Amino acid sequence: MKTSCWKLLKRGLSAAAGLLLAASALAQAKPTPVPAPGSAPVATPAAAAAEPAPVSASARRLYERSKGQLLQIRTLLKTQDSQASVGSGFVVSDDGHVVTNYHVISQFALEPDSYRLRYATTDGQGGALELLDFDARRDLALLRAVDDGKGGGLKGRGALAFRPVSQPLAKGERIYSMGNPHDVAFAVVEGNYNGLVERSFDPLIYYAGGINPGMSGGPVLDEDGRVVGVNVSTMLFAQQVSFLVPGEFAESLVKRSLGAKPIRSAAWGRLREQLTRYQDELVSRFVALPWESANHDRYRLPVPKQDFMRCWGRGTSADTKGLEFERSQCRMDHALFVSGSLQTGWLDMSHEAYDGSKLGPLRFSRQYSSSFRNERLGQADKARTAPYCKEQFVERDGLPLRAVVCLRAYRKLEGLHDLTVLVTTVDSSTQGALGRFDAKGVSFDNALKLAAHYLEGFAWTSSKAK
């Protein structure tokens, strides 16, 4: 980008920062990513799946062997036994330490004055749990059973061991997911290990088996009863496509925080620190990647390398008599769970290239302008402020662009924002391209880097196109 254009954008973003800081100071202390038509389904925590099929003798053997360490984890209202959420977990130490998903206990982690945690065993015992630590990036949490002084708790029940990283599974090996689906009963679901998900920013195991709501946080075992993964999500509108957090990350959390003190207050500060570290790594890796070509005959449009994003495209048919267009959308498949009303930590971008030569300048201008106006930028809600936007006409290697940069500040995660950049070409009366880039949960400095990086992806295809 030319220095003069960057200065203009930086001044606009600096003004945005001032207003956002003021909005954050005045603010009182999930939007689940929805794929566009034709794009890939999105993984969501323990979404509905088909009913589990009958299990084998191996599955029954493993369940009998490990059921003493299998738990249901419930989040209850502080003053009554009404449950707000239900998940699963498993015992990982003789002292009653328990692993589950962060999203299973997020309500308690963020609002400990309103909620409490309880466990239930397969033999009908139960008790209170306390939160020691969590890893929001990996969607994991470490709990410990509260010793009631009456011989209760989880001490002495044994612990599940983790499969060593030095012994990787082979694709197709049978593995066994356990949990309490739909709060119906404890169950074991048999499936296959299919390696790691391709083009995922963080490692996720592709599990060919059905994970149902309520099984989140439960263990997935190999034939020897060792933990290879933790139930985390399944893909909407797909059968037998589920995802597991690799066991090595759960084992690392256990080793790191086994002696940690219980978290007694709302964990927004700890969550903010984790999300800040994550977005630093995400942005650093993303801006280091060169842009791919969209193969447009007039404009060079930014298309990301698909290292950890997936791109989908569509266009009008060859016999279209009106406005012709080609559309591409690229996005990360997985987001980071913050709470039931907020997910963050992903990138999403798209572009639409229009040819209105069959319409003429007036009709093309009307439709082209309408497409730009129809872009939604969000509004103030409980989690974020209203967007503050700065519009500027800039130039990229002689290509004139209209750019709008918007930021929304997170109310309880100070220093993090949602970024939206809208760009449209303004060089032709019958042709044009509209691009959009979204980054969820990034710092102000990283928002500047991403906005500049995105604008650098626009240019002429060649000098002849001018």
Token look-up 């290697």 returns: 397
Contacts of 265 (CB under 8 A, 6+ apart): 112
Q: Is the pLDDT of residue 444 over 90?
A: yes
pLDDT band at 7 (very low <50, low <70, confident <90, very high): very low
Last residue of a domain, one of 209, 236, 266: 266
Would residue 98 count as lying in a domain?
yes
Q: Average pLDDT of 365-387?
A: 89
- The dihedral sign for the CA sequence 239, 250, 443, 310: negative
**What are the DSSP calls for 161-199, one per residue?**
PBPPTTSPPPTT-EEEEEE-GGGT--EEEEEEEEEEPTT
Residue 5, pLDDT > 60, answer no
Task: With respect to residue 388, please indicate whether it lies within any of the assigned structural domains.
Answer: yes
285 DSSP β-pair partners: none
Query: Rounded distance, CA 212 to CA 177, Å?
Result: 10
Residue 369 pLDDT exceeds 90: no
- Over 90: is that where the pLDDT of 286 sits? yes
Flag whether 376 is in a domain. yes
Q: Let me know if residue 327 belongs to a domain.
A: yes
Q: How far apart are CA 142 and CA 131, in angstroms?
A: 6
State the total domains in the chain.
2
Average pLDDT, the chain: 87
Q: Are residues 317 and 424 in the same domain?
A: yes
Tokens 């209202």 belong to which residue? 77
* CATH number where 221 lies: 2.40.10.120
Which of the listed residues 211, 241, 266 is the one where a domain comes to its end? 266
The residues, ordered by sequence, that sit 6+ positions from 322 with a Cβ below 8 Å of its Cβ are 358, 359
Same domain, 281 and 262: no
Asked whether residue 69 falls in the same domain as residue 157, the answer is yes
Residues 19 and 108 in one domain: no
- Residue numbers of the domain that contains 443: 3-30+272-465
DSSP-derived letter for residue 384 is B
Q: Which residues lie closer than 8 Å to 416 by C-beta, 6 or more apart?
A: 272, 275, 276, 279, 344, 409, 410, 441, 442, 443
Tell whether the torsion through CA atoms of 330, 336, 340 and 341 is positive or negative: negative
Domain boundary among 237, 266, 295: 266
Domain membership of residue 214 (yes or no) is yes
Residues 136 and 248 in one domain: yes
- Residue that the structure tokens 């004055």 belong to: 113
Question: Helix crossing, 444-455 with 3-26: angle to 10°?
Answer: 150
| Same-domain status, 389 and 309 | yes
- Mark whether 287 and 177 lie in a shared domain: no
49 & 196 share domain: yes
Burial of residue 259 (CB within 10 Å: 0-12, 13-18, 19+) is exposed
220 with 282, same domain: the answer is: no
The answer as to whether 36 is a domain residue is: no
How many H helices and E strands in the chain? 7, 24
Q: Tell me, yes or no, whether 223 and 339 share the same domain.
A: no
Q: What is the pLDDT of residue 239?
A: 73
316's tokens: 């009008």
Token output for 266 = 């709302």
Distance separating alpha carbons of residues 57 and 37, to the nearest angstrom: 43
CA–CA distance, 447 with 420 (Å, rounded to integer): 9
pLDDT tens figures, 316-356: 776 677 888 899 999 998 899 999 999 999 999 999 999 98
Do 59 and 17 belong together in one domain? no
Same domain flag for 97 and 229: yes
The model's pTM = 0.85
Residue 370 counted as domain residue? yes
More confident residue, 8 or 146: 146
**Identity of the highest mean pLDDT range in 4-13, 357-366, 403-412:** 403-412
Query: Is 35 inside any structural domain?
Result: no
